[in-house]
Structures are given as structure tokens and as C-alpha cells.
Structure 1
Amino acid sequence: MSERHLYLDRGMGESRGVVTLDGQAERLLVRRDGDDPRLALGARCVARVASLEPALATAFLDLGGGAEAILPFKPDAKPVRGQTLEIEIRSEPRRGKLAIARALGPGEGTPRLLGPPRDLAAELSALVREADIVEGAVAREMADQAEAEALEVLHPIPGGGVLAVEPTRALTAIDIDLGERKGADAKRVTRQANLAALGLAARLLRLKGLGGIVVIDLVGRGHDGNALMSAARAAFGPDNPGVAIGPVGRFGTMELSLPRRVTPLGEILCREDGQISDRTLAQRLIRRLEAEGAAQPGARLEARCAPGVAEAARPLGALLAGRIGARFTIKADPAVPRERLEVSAG
């Protein structure tokens, strides 16, 4: 019987919620100060229809304050330019893609936020009902581990082998590699690897916040299509409604379509070039300063980091000073590599 547990790390300028499945991170939800609540999953807004693309059956919505979303429509429910609607965000924005909304009915007044999304604690409780939320040091450690795993490309498969998850603009490609998996019966070994990899892939895609088209390159040949289909349905069941799974193709691949609901975690934590962003590094630096401050209550602390990270950490440092006092400095050093974060006690 699978067990899920909830963790909530309340940090400076950022809170992180984790759902674990049998002790391993299954979801990581990140909320940061400065996020636009109008574009978060579940937010309700008054929106104005700014323009229409009839050929695409899509309306572009003005949510106010520069925020935008799109609204797919059916031919018999075509909105009118300038019309005001009440909408709900059902898919958060992605890099180069606007948020997707659904219409709730007619709206009144200027574009604005009507109902904010659920807070992080409520969101976690909605994912796993009747589960206690663990906070504090344990939650921080769990969130750090989840973040590290979410940013990896290669993941070990239980029993041996490696699974690679690589998102592209068009789809997410998943490759199953047998690696050093042992066994005299090659067909049995490949079958076990594929079945284990499907469960791992489902967990990792939820953790990374990835949806859309997914192509899984299975290992071996002569696959048991029925067994793989049953395993995929069970593994991706928590992502319903909206999951579609295709049969194993002639080239040994399985194709899936998963609903897109949240902004992919890689886009929250990383720059467009895939490198960890200054903001993410700044959050790590502040957490390290906070931990060191708790370990050495009377010490003065010094942090050294790259200039971009120091700039991103400035407003977070002001929040930290309110908690532990202004007994630390953050020094920008052009000689420090971007991802190196140094904290020492004076």
C-alpha cells in the first residue's frame, strides 16, 4: 500500500511544499514572493476579451496589470471582443506560453483578481486528504532533496538501470537504459526494468511539473503490451482526469498525453539556458545563512557569492534580518563561481 506524506518549508521569500510517495518526492510546489496570483492554478479573475483568433478557436484575455491568458472556445460559445468574463486559471503559464483559462460566466467591472488560489498548505491538503503537514527542519531537508532530484536528468531505476528525463519544446523524451541490471533471462530482465521505469517516470514527471506529450523509449524488443499498458494506467492514474496512453509502437516506444496544470519546476528554478537562476541560488544562500545563524546564535556571519546572486539576495536578506537580526553581510565577489555559496562565521 502506497503512503503519501506532506511537508511545508516556510522560507524567506519562498515557501516549498512537498508530497512524498513511499518516502520519495512526488511533487514539489514552489511559491515565491512576487508571483502573480492571477496566473496561479485555480485563481478566479474578471477578464476582458482583448482579441480573437477564430481559426485557432482561441480568445486572448486581459486580466489587468499586464497579465494575460488564453481562452479556448467552442464554435457555439464564441466570445465577443471587449466582452467581460469571469474565468478560472486551469493551466499556469509556461515559457513562451500563456496561462489557459476556462470561462465561468459573464463578468462585471474592470479586469481584476476575484479569488486567489489556495495557499500552499491548502493545496497540499487537497492533494493528500487527511494527512498531517510536517514543518520545520525536516520539511526543509525534504524540500532540498526534492529540488535537487527535480533538477537531475538521470535517475536510477529500482533494481538497476537508468532513466533519463529530457523536456523539449515539443514533448518530453524519456529513455530507459538497462545499465548494469543483472539477470540470465534477458526478456525477464527487460520486462522488469520497463515496468519499474514506468512507475519511476510517473513520479518524476509529477515532481518536475511536466505534462503534454511524453514519449518513453522502452528497453528491449517483443514487449508485453498488455502488461505495460496496465502498469502505465496504474502509474499515471493520479494525474487523471486528462491522461491518454497509447499502445507500444512498432519502434518500442509508448506515447502519453498528460494534462498541463502547473509551470514546470525547471522554469521556476532555472534560467532559459537551463542554468540555475540567481533567484534560486539566492534562496539557497539565505537558507544557509539562516541555518548557520541558528547553529551559532551570537556569531556574525559573512556570505560570499557571485554579484548576480548577491543582488537577488538583497531583498531576501532584509527579511532574514527581521528574523535573526542584522548580524550578517552578503558580499558580491566576481571571482566566485555562480553556483558557489560561501558562508562563514567571523
Structure 2
Amino acid sequence: MSERRTFLDRGIGETRGVVTLDGRPERVILRRDEEDLRLALGARLIARVATVEPAIGVAFLDLGEGREAMLPFKPDARPVRGGALEVEIRSEAREGKLATARQTGEGDGAPRLLHPPPSVADILRSIVRDSDPVQGREARQAADDAEAEALEIVHRLPGGGDIAIEPTRALTSIDVDLGDRKGQDSKRAARHANLAAIAEGARLLRLKGLGGLIILDLVGRGHDGAALLAAARLAFAPDNPGVAIGPVGRFGTMELSIPRRTRPVSDYLLRAGGGLADRALAQRLVRRIEAEAQTAPGARIAATCAPEVAKAAEPLVALLAERYGARFKVSADPSQPRDRFDVAPA
């Protein structure tokens, strides 16, 4: 019987929620304090239809203050340009893509937020009913571990071998490798590796916040298609409704379509071209400073980091001072690597 637990880390400038499955991270939910809640999953709004594109069955919505979303529609339910609609965000914006909404009724008045999205705590309780999320240091460690695993590409499989998960603009590929299972009976080793890859792949896609078209490149030949299909239905059941699973193809691949709902974790944490974003590094820096402040109550804390990280950390350090007092100094050092911080009592 699988066991899920929840963790809630209320940090400086952001809140992080984590769901674990049998002790391993399955989901990480990030919510920055300054985020525009109009674009978060579950937000309900009045939107104005800005343009209608019948050729592709999509209307573009004005959510107010320059925010936009897409509204897919059927030919018999074409919205009217300039009309007001009540909508709900069903898929969050991601890099290069607008948020997607669905119409819930007719609207009136200017674009505005009617009801905010569920909080991180509410999301955790909706995933694991009647749960009381763990908080404090244990939650912070769980969130740090979840973020680290979400950003990895190659992941070890139980019993040996690994999978590599790599998203592209069109799809996400999952490549299965036997690794140290090769010394076993080849057909049996391939079967076990593929079954493990399906279970781990489902967990990791949820952790990374990835959806859309998934191509699972299985290992070996002569696959037991019925067994693999049954395993996939079980592994991806938490992602329903909307999951579609195809049979194993002639080239040894399985295709799946997983609904896109949340912003991928990498959009929060990585910058274009790779590497951690300045804001993600600033969050890590502030967590280090906060840990030092808790260890040495009343002491002045000095930190040194790269200039771009120091700049991103300025508003977070101000929030830190509101909580612990004005006893923190962050200095920019152009010679400091972006991912290195020096934090110690002054």
C-alpha cells in the first residue's frame, strides 16, 4: 500500500509544498509572494474577449493589467469579441505559452479576479485528504530535496538501471537504460526495468510538473504490451482525468498524453540557457541566512555572493529583516561564482 505525506515550508518570499510517495518526492508546489494569482491554477475571473481565431478554435482573453490567457472553444460555442466571460484557469502559463482557461459562465464588467486560487496548503490537502502537512525544518529539507531531484535529468531505477527525462518544445522523452541489470537474464531484466521506468517516470513527471506528449523509449524487444499498458494505467491514474495511453509501437516506444496543469518546476528555478535563475539562487541564499540567524539569535550575519544574486536578494533580505530584525548585510563580490555563498556571523 503506497503512503503519501505532505510538507509545507513557509519561507521568506515563497511557500513550498511537497507530497512524498513512499518517502520519495512526488510533487513540489511553488508559490512566490509576488505572483499574480490571476494566472494560477483554479483562479476564477471575469475576462474580456480580446480576439477570436476561428481557424484554430482559440480566443485570446484580456485578464486585466496586461495579463492574457487562451480560451479554446468549439465551433458551436464561439465567443464574441469584446464580450465579458466568467472563466477559470485550467492550465498555468509556461515558458513561451499562455495560461489556458475554460468558460464557466457569462460575465459583466471589467476584467478582474473573482476568487483566488487554492493556497499551497489547500492544494496539499486536496491531494492527500485529511492530511496535516509537516512544517518547520523537516518541511524545508523535504522541499530542498524535492527541488534538487526535480532538476535532475538522469534518475536511478530501483533494482538497477536508470531513466533520462528530457523535455523539448514538442514533447518529453523518457529513455530507459538497463545499466547494471545487464548481467541478468536479458528478457527478464528488460521487463523489470520497463515496469520500474513506468512507475518512476509517472512520479517524476508529476514532480517536475511536466505534461503534454510523453514518449517512453522502452528497453529490449518483444514487449508484453498488455502488462506494460496495465502498469501505465496504474502509474498515471493520479493524473486523471485526461490521461491517454497508447499501445507499445513497433519501434518499442509507448506514447502518452498527460494534461498540462501547472507551471513546470524548471520555469521557476532555471534561467534561459540553463543554470539556476538569480531568483532561485537568492532564495537559497536567504534560506542559508535564515538558518544562521536561527542558530545565532541576535548576532549580526554577513553574506557575500555574486552581484546578480545580491540584487535579486534585496527584497527578500528586507522581508528577513522584518522577521528577525535589521541585522543582515549582503555584499556583492564580482569574483564570486553565482552558485557560491559565504554566510557567517559578522
Q: TM-score, normalised by structure 1?
A: 0.99
Other-structure match for 1:7 = 7
C-alpha deviations, 1:74-100, integer Å up to 9, x for none? 111101100000000000001111100
Question: What is the correspondence of 1:108-123 to structure 2 with a 5 Å cutoff?
Answer: 108-123=108-123
Decide which moves more: 193-202 or 265-274: 265-274
Unaligned runs of 5+ in 2: none
Give the corresponding residue for 2:279: 279
| Partner in structure 2 of residue 161 of structure 1 | 161
1:152-301 mapped onto 2 (5 Å cutoff): 152-181=152-181, 183-301=183-301
Q: Distance in 1 between matches of 2:344 and 2:190?
A: 50
Residue 127 of structure 1: aligned partner: 127
Query: Following the alignment from structure 1 to structure 2, what is the Cα–Cα distance between the partners of residues 226 and 234?
Result: 12
Structure 2 residue identity aligned to 1:45? L
Describe the superposition over 1:158-188 as per-residue Cα deviations: whole angstroms up to 9, x where unpaired: 0001111100000001111111125431100
Indicate the SS of the match to 1:292: helix
Give the structure 1 partner of residue 307 of structure 2.
307
Matched to 2:304, the amino acid is R
Helix, strand or coil for the counterpart of 1:18?
Answer: strand
Partner of 2:49: 49
May I ask how many residue pairs the two structures share in their alignment?
Answer: 346
CA shift digits 1:258-306 (9 cap, x unpaired): 0000011101111121211000000000000000111111322111111
Task: Tell me which amino acid in the other structure corresponds to 1:111.
Answer: P
Percent of counterpart pairs with the same letter?
65
> What amino acid does structure 1 have at the position aligned with 2:100?
I
Corresponding residue for residue 96 of structure 1: 96
Q: After superposition, give the CA deviation of every residue in 1:222-257 in whole Å (9 maximum; x if it has no partner).
A: 111111101110000000000000111111111100
Runs of 4+ deviating beyond 3 Å: none
- Alpha-carbon distance in 1 for matches of 2:341, 2:162: 30
In structure 2, distance between residues paired with 1:23 and 1:109: 48
Q: Deviations over 1:205-237 (max 9, x none)?
A: 000000000001111111111111011100000
Match of 2:321 in 1: 321
Which letter maps to 2:248? V
Distance between the aligned counterparts of 1:107 and 1:215, measured in 2?
40
* In structure 2, C-alpha distance between the alignment counterparts of 1:45 and 1:260, rounded to whole Å: 20
- State how far apart, in whole Å, the 1-side matches of 2:41 and 2:333 are: 39
Shift of 1:327: 1.4
Greater shift, 269-278 or 169-178, is seen at 269-278
Root mean square deviation of aligned Cα: 0.8
The amino acid that maps onto 2:306 is A
Aligned twin of 1:140: 140
Code of the aligned partner of 1:336: Q
In the alignment, the residues of structure 1 paired with residue 224 and residue 73 of structure 2 have an alpha-carbon distance, to the nearest angstrom, of 40
Q: Report the Cα distance in structure 1 between the residues aligned to 2:199 and 2:342, rounded to whole angstroms.
A: 38
**Structure 1 residue 323 displacement after superposition:** 1.5
Alignment CA distance shift 1:296-1:267 (3 Å): same
How far apart are the structure 2 equivalents of 1:164 and 1:32?
A: 29
Whole-angstrom distance in 1 between the partners of 2:115 and 2:247: 41
**Structure 1: which 5+ residue stretches go unaligned?**
none
Residue range with higher mean Cα deviation, 322-331 or 243-252: 322-331
2:313 & 2:165 partners in 1: Cα distance?
A: 31
**Partner Cα distance (1:208, 1:96) in 2:** 17
Which residue identity does 1:96 align to in structure 2?
A: G
Three-state SS of the structure 2 residue aligned to 1:241 is coil
